[in-house]
């Protein structure tokens, strides 16, 4: 017998009581019971996004939130600057082109984040850009970008450009203060930090962004955020929402509210630090220069590395995920986004030691667990 354990940065594990809630008999989305549920959910989402703006719930995966924001806010021919430092960032540039926008793709080597000076230079070269797209936590490479700094840089250099943030694996992992940092668009998805299955996307727009949206005729229908905002005022959605997922979302958000968002950010930082020091102690080289608190990335061992991920899954029940494109068979990614605690990290490291031993990797058994435990004990003392 092996207990299946999911360590992927989306979908992420779902707490048992949340799963049970989603198995309850379906309720009708225009009924008072659902409206009351939505009212609570909407309030908690605002706390999570650190905003007083509506956080709109869409029935889609995370990409749907980006498409909704893009088509609600920008017309054909508008220029968008896309800071492209990974597989997800790349997607937003492609999406701009699909919708007839001019995409300025700023390529940053994978595993790295853009720096302030570099961003300022790009902005100066494109004073006519009406948006700047940044990925807070680039899940393909485990890279964190300092959005507080970057948002400030955009505001200073191109005051009218909208700052659009892919917060899909940063919301619920990294500090992200939409209003205080003056961000115009923040989006996330349900299967990441929110601890429920895939199927819901969330997006919030600033006052500046809403004004822009109001300045032209909608060119979308299902994903028209103006319609979603109108329905939001009534704690409703314009179309049938994924009712069962919303029923799960409520207790998941209540768990988060009980822990407190600052404590959640702190927990993710600690888990990430612990896991990374475990990897280093096992002679696994860390990938990238700016680690995300949602997912930790290390190079696969040279010897037998290709079998490592498969062996972990098949013989030890642990699902981690490999790399994409040029990182295929080069790295592996381990999530600590959402429903994870210290014991999960110690368990994962223990299983990894087992798998590493099987593929003949050179390391001292127990050292990975020991290194992570030291980080956790030190964090618990504070
Ligand atoms: C998962 C993810 C997405 C895409 O979300 P889907 O839910 O697959 O549409 C976009 N950006 C980042 C950073 C992600 O981790």
Domains of the chain, by residue range, sit at 17-259, 260-381
Using the mean position of ligand 1's atoms as its centre, give its distance from the Cα of residue 185 in Å: 15
Using an 8 Å Cβ cutoff, are 80 and 128 in contact?
no
Closest residue to atom 5 of ligand 1, CA basis: 62
pLDDT at 270 over 90: yes
Q: For residue 255, what pLDDT is reported?
A: 98
pLDDT tens-digit map of 6-45: 999 999 999 999 999 999 999 999 999 999 999 999 999 9
Using the mean position of ligand 1's atoms as its centre, give its distance from the Cα of residue 226 in Å: 23
pLDDT tens-digit map of 165-218: 999 999 999 999 999 999 999 999 999 999 999 999 999 999 999 999 999 999
Q: For residue 1, what pLDDT is reported?
A: 87
Tell the CATH topology of 17-259: 3.40.640
Cα(138)–Cα(146) distance, integer angstroms: 12
Our mutation pick for probing the ligand 1 site, out of 168, 185, 321, counting the most ligand atoms within 8 A of Cβ, is: 168
Architecture of domain 260-381: Alpha-Beta Complex (3.90)
Using the mean position of ligand 1's atoms as its centre, give its distance from the Cα of residue 316 in Å: 27
pLDDT at 382 over 90: no
Using an 8 Å Cβ cutoff, are 184 and 53 in contact?
no
Give the residue-averaged pLDDT of 254-267. 98
Q: Is the dihedral of CA 363, 364, 366, 369 positive or negative?
A: negative
Pairing of strands 102-107, 79-84: parallel
Our mutation pick for probing the ligand 1 site, out of 91, 140, 186, 192, counting the most ligand atoms within 8 A of Cβ, is: 192
Cis amide leading into 11 (omega within 30): yes
Name the token pair of 47: 């706390």
pLDDT at 120 over 90: yes
Our mutation pick for probing the ligand 1 site, out of 62, 140, 203, 223, counting the most ligand atoms within 8 A of Cβ, is: 62
**DSSP code, position 60:** S
User: First and final CA of the chain: distance in angstroms?
Assistant: 38
Cα(334)–Cα(323) distance, integer angstroms: 11
**pLDDT mean across residues, the chain:** 98
Lining ligand 1 with CB less than 6 A are 10, 61-63, 88, 135, 138-139, 166, 168-169, 189
Q: For residue 370, what pLDDT is reported?
A: 98
């Amino acid at each position: 017998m092996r207990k299946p354990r999911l360590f992927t940065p989306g979908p992420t594990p779902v707490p048992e009581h949340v799963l049970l809630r989603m198995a309850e008999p379906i309720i009708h989305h225009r009924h008072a019971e659902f409206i009351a549920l939505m009212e609570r959910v909407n309030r908690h989402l605002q706390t999570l996004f650190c905003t007083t703006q509506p956080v709109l719930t869409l029935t889609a995966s995370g990409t749907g939130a980006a498409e909704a924001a893009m088509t609600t806010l920008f017309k054909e021919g508008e220029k968008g600057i896309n800071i492209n430092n990974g597989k997800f960032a790349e997607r937003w540039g492609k999406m701009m082109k699909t919708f007839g926008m001019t995409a300025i793709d700023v390529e940053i080597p994978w595993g790295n984040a853009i720096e302030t000076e570099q961003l300022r230079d790009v902005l100066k070269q494109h004073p006519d850009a009406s948006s700047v797209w940044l990925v807070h936590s680039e899940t393909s490479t485990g890279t964190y970008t300092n959005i507080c700094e970057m948002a400030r840089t955009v505001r200073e250099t191109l005051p009218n450009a909208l700052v659009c943030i892919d917060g899909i694996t940063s919301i619920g992992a990294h500090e992200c203060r939409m209003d205080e940092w003056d961000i115009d668009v923040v989006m996330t998805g349900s299967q990441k930090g929110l601890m429920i299955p895939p199927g819901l996307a969330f997006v919030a727009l600033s006052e500046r962004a809403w004004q822009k949206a109001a300045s032209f005729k909608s060119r979308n229908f299902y994903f028209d955020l103006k319609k979603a905002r109108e329905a939001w005022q009534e704690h409703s959605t314009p179309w049938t929402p994924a009712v069962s997922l919303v029923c799960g979302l409520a207790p998941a958000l209540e768990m988060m509210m009980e822990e407190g968002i600052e404590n959640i950010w702190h927990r993710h930082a600690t888990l990430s630090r612990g896991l990374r020091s475990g990897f280093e102690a096992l002679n696994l080289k860390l990938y990238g220069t700016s680690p995300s608190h949602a997912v930790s990335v290390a190079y696969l061992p040279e010897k037998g590395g290709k079998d490592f991920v498969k062996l972990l899954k098949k013989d030890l029940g642990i699902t981690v995920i490999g790399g994409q494109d040029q990182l295929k068979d080069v790295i592996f990614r381990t999530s600590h986004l959402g429903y994870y605690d210290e014991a999960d990290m110690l368990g994962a490291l223990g299983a990894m030691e087992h798998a590493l031993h099987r593929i003949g990797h050179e390391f001292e058994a127990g050292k990975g667990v020991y290194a992570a435990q030291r980080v956790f004990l030190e964090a618990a003392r504070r």
